[in-house]
Amino acid sequence: MRKEGRVVFSALASLILVPVVWALPTTRSSVIQEQTPPPQAQSQSVSGKIASVEKSSFTLTIGAGSSNQGQQFQQSAAKTMNFLLDKNTTAISVHIAP
């Protein structure tokens, strides 16, 4: 009888354990693969006059009516923006107006 009890207990334990294992959350690697990649950075632009140029930076003087990301911002006084160039700088586009 003792041996039969162990067999019955093992069978019942297996029947309970199988649904519990199936109910566990998925592995971390499959969750990472289902996530969407982060959005790419938006292009930004600014217009102004070049105030100074150095080896790894340049400065623009920005007057009234400068644009940023396609939106118009009114500014009361001229401001300067300093741009630093390093190994992570991917692109700089320059358009010279006559």
Res. 75: pLDDT tops 60: no
- Average pLDDT of the chain is 76
A 10 A CB-CB count for 21 gives 7
Higher pLDDT, 28 or 84: 84
- Calculate mean pLDDT across residues 1-17: 86
How does 55-90 read in b/e, with b if 16+ C-beta sit within 10 Å?
Answer: eeebebebeeebeeeeeeeeeeeeeeeeeeeeeeee
Specify whether the CB–CB gap between 67 and 46 falls below 8 A.
yes
Res. 41: pLDDT tops 50: yes
Token pair for 35 = 């996530």
Q: Pick from 45, 84, 79: which is nearest to 62 by CA? A: 79
pLDDT of residue 20: 82
Instruction: Label residue 66 by pLDDT band (50, 70, 90).
Output: very low
